[in-house]
């Protein structure tokens, strides 16, 4: 496993549409594992393959709860309902946060790391993260959806800078 470089704002790969994964093989499993390690290094809750420079429809999510890490291949929202206004950031846009409207409930179909079909029902934060990461696979970024006037730049406080 390895920590990969997270692509940041301005990198053209973030605007490209990712390709479907034909076969979930060892190479895809290695990518998933690397993405989890990268996600944890940067304390994120979700990461999409384009954010590490790979145009494949692969995402990982960790809400740091008792449900563990979700590794999803070719995820697709098949149902959504409700709306929630959320504060959102993105590892590709360090220290930037804004208000976004996301679905409150989603059902996602995908393949797991073994190539088996899975269905995930997400509500609240999980619905938000699933929608955010799946947007990445289509070249859609959170800054495309912000409620006007809500974008904030947060600088690390003095305590963080001393570490």
- Single out the catalytic residue among 8, 83, 123, 133: 133
Report d(CA 150, CA 87) in Å as an integer.
9
Known active-site residue 133:
yes
Task: State both tokens at 53.
Answer: 């420079």
Among 160, 157, 136, CA closest to 54: 136
What three-state secondary structure class fits 30? helix
Report d(CA 3, CA 6) in Å as an integer.
9
Point out the residues that are catalytic: 133
């Amino acid at each position: 496993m390895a920590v990969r470089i997270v692509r940041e704002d301005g990198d053209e790969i973030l605007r490209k549409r990712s390709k479907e994964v034909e076969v979930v093989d060892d190479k895809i499993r290695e990518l998933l594992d690397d993405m989890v390690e990268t996600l944890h290094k940067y304390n994120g809750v979700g990461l999409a393959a384009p954010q590490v420079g790979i145009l494949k429809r692969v995402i990982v999510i960790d809400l740091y709860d008792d449900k563990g890490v979700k590794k999803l291949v070719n995820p697709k929202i098949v149902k959504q309902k409700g709306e929630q206004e959320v504060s959102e950031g993105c590892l590709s846009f360090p220290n930037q946060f804004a208000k976004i409207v996301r679905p409150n409930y989603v059902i996602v179909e995908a393949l797991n790391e073994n190539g088996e079909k899975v269905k995930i029902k997400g509500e609240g934060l999980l619905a938000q993260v699933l929608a955010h990461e799946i947007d990445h696979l289509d070249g859609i970024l959170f800054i495309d959806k912000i409620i006007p006037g809500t974008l904030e730049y947060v600088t690390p406080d003095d305590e963080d800078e001393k570490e």
